[in-house]
Chain A
Amino acid sequence: MPMKKPLLEFTEKGIYCHAAKVYLDPWKPVDKAIITHGHADHSRWGHKQYITHPTNVPIIKHRLGDIEVAGKEWGETFTVNGVKFTLYPAGHIIGSSQVRVEHKGEIWVFTGDYKLENDGVATPYESIKCHTFITECTFGLPAFLWRPQKEVFKDINEWWAQNKSNGQTSVLFGYSLGKAQRLLKHLDPNIGKIYTHGAIENMTDVLRPMIDFPATERITRDTKKEDIKGHMVIAPPSAHGSTWIRRMVPFVTASASGWMAFRGARRRRAIDKGFVLSDHCDWPSLLEAIKEIGAEKVICTHGYTDIFSRYLRDLGYDARTEATQFEGENAELNVETEISESV
C-alpha cells in the first residue's frame, strides 16, 4: 500500500496541498496560490491564479500589477478538488490571514505571519483548532517580550514631542506595508504634521478606503526643508542613509521593529532610537497560541525554528522544523532584501 501523502508538503516551490493541487504562499511561480498577506516574501510574482482575502486584492495588485486574483472572505469555506479551504484573520497586518485546510477529517492550519495583540489596524487573530499547526516563529526566543502597544506609542509620541521642542524632525522607519500604517494610526496628530515617503504614501492611499488614517503629506521634490522641521516623517528602512533623507536635516531617526529589543541591532544600523514594536508574536504569544489550539503536531517554518521546535519537544509537543523562504521581520534588518519601491 503506497504511503499516504501528508495533507500539506514542503516542496521546492512552496507549501503544497497535493490533493487540491494548490500552493500556500509559494516562492516559485505556480498555477494556483493561496496568499496569506501582501508582504513580498509571501505574495510573489508569476502565479497564474491568486486567491486571498478581499482586503489583500488591491494591495497585491498595487505591488504586482494586473494579475488574476480572487477574494475570499474570512470564514467562507471554498473547495478545491474536494479539499476545503477557509481563511481566518491572523492579526499580522491588514488583510493577513491564516489558511485552514480540511480533507477527510484532517485539519491543518498555516499561520503565515501572525500576532495576538489587537493593533487597531489588522483584524485580530483568531485561534483555530486543528491537528497540525504550521507556525512562524520569527521571534521564537525567550529574549523577546513585547510591551503593550499603548505604552510603546506613548513613548513614540513623547519622543516626537521632545524632538519637536528641540527643533528637530523625527524620522521613523517602518516597513511600507503594515508597520507604516500601524504607526500612522497611533501617532498623535496634535503634536504636528505627518509626512510620508512616497512608497508609504502610495501604499497608504490603497488602504485609505478601508481604514481611517490621520492626514499625511507626501514628501516630493518641492517639499521645503523649513516646512518639515519639527514634524514627523515615516519612511521605509531603505531610506536610512540615503540622499533622500538629507533634506530632513536637522533630524533624529528611530526604528520600530521587534529587532530593536537587541541593543546590537539598533547600533548596527546607527539609528538614534529603537522602539520595540513588532507585527509578529513574541515568545509568550507563540506559546499561548500553540497551547490554545491544542494541535498534536507543530511545524515551525521561519525564525528561530530549531530552537523553538526543540523547546516545544521539551514541552511534549510533536514539533519539527521545515525550511521555507519566508523572511519574517528580517526584511527590516537587511535593507538589501527589501523590494525597492519607487519614490
Chain B
Amino acid sequence: MKKFSQLIKTLDGTNKTNVKVAALAEYFTNAPDQDKVWTIAILSHRRPPRPVNTTLLREWASELAHIPLWLFEESYHIVGDLAETIALVVPSDESSTDKSLSAFLQEMIWLKAQSDEDKKAYLYRNWKQLDYYGRFVFTKLITGGFRIGVSQKLMTRALAKATGIDEDILAYKLMGNWDPNTIDFQDLILEEKKSDYLSKPYPFYLAYALENEPESLGDVTEWSFEHKWDGIRAQIIVRNNELFTWSRGEELVTDKYPEFEVFIGRLPNGTVIDGEILPYPNKEIGTFNDLQTRIGRKNVSKALLKKTPVILKAYDLLEWQGEDIRTRPYSKRRNLLEKMVAGQDGIPLFLSEKMEFTSWQEVAEERELSREKRSEGLMFKRKDSPYLVGRKKGDWWKWKVDPLTIDAVLTYAMRGHGRRSNLFTDYTFALWNENEEGEKELVTFAKAYSGLTDAEFRKVDAWIKKNTLERFGPVRSVTPHHVFEIAFEGIAESKRHKSGVATRFPRILRWRKDKKIHEANSLEDLKALIPHTVETE
C-alpha cells in the first residue's frame, strides 16, 4: 500500500506526462504482481463496488473527529473532496501498516457484506493506523475514482514500457470483462493465449478534430464521408451464437440494449461491427436527451423499450467470418459491411450512410445540414485507411458543427471540486422570460463550469463572495450582473427542465463584460434554436 500511495502522490503531484509514465512504469516493474493487477483495475475503473455509502462515511468520520456533522459537511464543501476531507479531519496515531494494496481491496470486497457496526470498526482501525496520504488513498479506494489525469492510454504506455509487450496488444488484453480478484498478472498480461477472446472487442479507433481547412487534406475523392451521429459509440460482437455489446468506455452493455439480441442468427458468427447506438422513437432518430433515459438503466422496462427503442448505425466492419480485417482498406471493409447489412430487414441495424463528394464546397454544404439530421457534424475517412488503435491523426478526422451560443446571466454559484475547491467555479445561468403577469424574470436554463481561465475564475470568485444574496448550503445566489456567452452542442425540448429546454455540454465561451444584463438573450431566443427534423433519405 505504501508503494501505491507513493504512486498516487506522484501522479497527483505532476501534470507532466513523462513523469507520470515513468512513475507508473517503475511501479509496474517493482510492485507485487497482484498489486499490479489491482492498480490496472483501479486506473481502468474496475474497482470493487463501494462497500460503505458516503452518508455513513461522513457520519463516522465526523464522530471520530469529534466534530458535529454540520461542521464536517461545511469542511467538505470547502475542501471539495470527501476522501481528502476525511483524511484531514480524523485523528491518527500513524502506527502505520504494511498491508498490501490487494489485501486492502480484498478486505473491501469482504466489507460490503458486513454489518454497519463491523464496517465502522474496520474504518476506524484503518483511519487511525494510516498516515495522512495513506488515509486519503484508502478512503478514495472506498469512495471512487482517482481523478489524477491517467488515461487508459497513458497507463498502457507505462505497462508496455515495464513489460516490453506491444502497446496495442496490451490495450486488447486489458479490454473486456476481467475480475481483478480472480485473475493474476501472468494470466492478464504476460501469458499469450487465444481462447477466452470470445467477448473481447477491438480497441476503438478515434478521430481527432480537423485542425486546418478541409482543403488541406488534398483530393476530395480520396475520402469517404459520414455524419457523426450523436449517440453511444459501440461495438457489436456475434461469436459462437452469443452477442456482446461494448460501449466506447469499454463497458459491456449487452443487457442494457436487448433490442440487439435478434442479431444472433441473423448475423454470421465471427462478426464485429463498429457503430453508434441511437435512440429511434417514432421510427426516426431522436436526440441525445432521448437516449439519456436508456443509459443509466440496467433493467429496461417494456414501456421504455416501446417509447425509446434504439438502433445501431453501422460504421465499419472489424471482424468478418472470424477474421480480424482491421488492416484491410476502409473501402473494402465497408463493402463487406454493406453486403452484410443489405437485406437485413426488420432488425434494428442500419448503415451509417456513406457519402462521396466531388468538391470540398459540397462537403461544407453537407455539414450545414448536420443539426437537422441530428448529427454532430461530419466524419472524414480516407478510403484506403486501416482501422487503427486509439486516437490517431491522419486517416480519420471529425468536423463538428460550430456550437450554438447564447448570452445568459449568472444567477447562482457553487464551489468547484478538486483543483478548484475553495473557488466558486460551478455556475448556473439564466435567460429572460415573460411570466404570466407580463413581467420579465430570469429563468435558469443551464449549468456550466468550464471555459474561463484561472485568472478569470479568480475574478468571478472574488466578485461572487462580495455579491452573495443568499446561501443554500453550498450554493449561493448572486446579484444578476454578469453576462456570459454560453456554448452548447445540442438542444432539445425537455419536460424535466424548468426552462423546458435541455442543452448538451454547455460551457462558458467568454465573459461578456461589454453587455448589461438586459442585453442577455431570452428563453424564446433559445427555443428558436431547436432544430426541426427534416426527412433523411
Contacts and interface: CB of A to CB of B under 8 A. Distances in A.
- Name B's interface SS: helix
A19 interface: no
A28 interface: no
Given A265-B422, A268-B419, A336 B458 contact: yes
A141 B74 contact: yes
B175 interface: no
A304 B14 contact: no
Contacts, number: 67
A339 to B, nearest CB: 16
Contacts of A142: 65, 67, 71-72, 75, 88-89
B421 A307 contact: no
Contact of B422 (A264, A272, A307, A336): A264
A307 B71 contact: yes
A334 to B, nearest CB: 6
Contact of A141 (B14, B75, B420, B455): B75
Nearest to A311: B71
B71 A263 contact: no
A264 B15 contact: no
Interface in B1-41: 12-15
Interface residues of A, number: 24
A40 interface: no
Contacts of B80: 262, 264
Contacts of B71: 142, 307, 310-311
Interface in B260-284: none
Contact of A261 (B67, B70, B88, B420): B88
A64 interface: no
Contacts of A141: 74-75, 78
A263 B85 CA distance: 11
Contact of A264 (B72, B418, B458, B462): B418
B126 to A, nearest CB: 19
B356 to A, nearest CB: 47
Nearest to A259: B422
A270 B13 CA distance: 9
Interface in A276-335: 304, 307, 310-311, 314, 334
B68 interface: yes
B472 to A, nearest CB: 14
Contact of A272 (B14, B81, B420, B423): B14
Given A264-B420, A268-B423, A143 B85 contact: yes
Given A261-B88, A263-B84, A272 B13 contact: yes
Given A143-B85, A273-B13, A262 B421 contact: yes
Contacts of B458: 334, 336
A252 B421 CA distance: 24
B143 to A, nearest CB: 15
B420 A268 contact: yes
B171 interface: no
A199 interface: no
Contacts of A272: 13-14
Contacts of A21: none
Interface string A226-267: 000000000000000000000000000000000101111111
Interface in B77-92: 78-81, 84-85, 88-89
Interface in B54-103: 65, 67-68, 70-72, 74-75, 78-81, 84-85, 88-89
B454 interface: yes
A262 B65 CA distance: 18
B419 A304 contact: no
A145 interface: yes
Nearest to B72: A142
Contacts of B462: 334
- Looking at A141, A143, A314, the one whose CB has the most chain B CB atoms below 10 A away is A143
Interface in A186-245: none
A314 B72 CA distance: 14
Contact of B421 (A264, A304, A314, A334): A264
Contacts of A264: 79-81, 417-422
Contacts of A273: 13
B454 A268 contact: yes
B449 to A, nearest CB: 14
- Looking at B12, B15, B67, B419, the one whose CB has the most chain A CB atoms below 10 A away is B419
Contacts of B74: 141, 304, 307
Interface string B190-207: 000000000000000000
A191 B535 CA distance: 75
Interface in B307-355: none
Nearest to A307: B74
A321 to B, nearest CB: 13
Nearest to B88: A143
Contacts of A145: 88
A1 to B, nearest CB: 37
Contact of A267 (B65, B70, B85, B418): B418
A207 B192 CA distance: 70
Nearest to A141: B75
A309 to B, nearest CB: 12
B147 to A, nearest CB: 10
B12 A263 contact: yes
A262 B84 CA distance: 8
A266 B419 CA distance: 8
A219 to B, nearest CB: 26
Interface in B181-222: none
A256 to B, nearest CB: 16
A304 B13 contact: no
A143 B422 contact: no
A268 B458 CA distance: 11
A145 B91 CA distance: 10
B469 to A, nearest CB: 15
B22 to A, nearest CB: 13
A138 B295 CA distance: 45
A268 B419 CA distance: 5
A267 B422 CA distance: 12
A258 to B, nearest CB: 12
Nearest to B471: A306
Interface string B448-464: 00000011001100100
Contacts of B423: 268
A107 B71 CA distance: 31
Contacts of A270: 15
B89 A143 contact: yes
A165 B484 CA distance: 49
A205 B85 CA distance: 41
Given A142-B72, A143-B79, A268-B423, 18 more contacts: A141-B75, A142-B89, A143-B85, A143-B89, A145-B88, A262-B84, A263-B81, A263-B84, A264-B79, A264-B419, A266-B13, A267-B12, A267-B418, A272-B13, A311-B71, A314-B68, A334-B458, A336-B458
17 contacts: A141-B75, A142-B71, A142-B72, A142-B75, A143-B75, A143-B88, A262-B421, A262-B422, A264-B81, A264-B418, A264-B420, A267-B12, A270-B15, A273-B13, A304-B78, A311-B68, A336-B459
Closest 7 CB pairs of A and B: A143-B88, A264-B421, A267-B419, A142-B89, A143-B75, A307-B74, A264-B419
Interface of B: 12-15, 65, 67-68, 70-72, 74-75, 78-81, 84-85, 88-89, 417-423, 454-455, 458-459, 462
Interface of A: 141-145, 259, 261-268, 270, 272-273, 304, 307, 310-311, 314, 334, 336
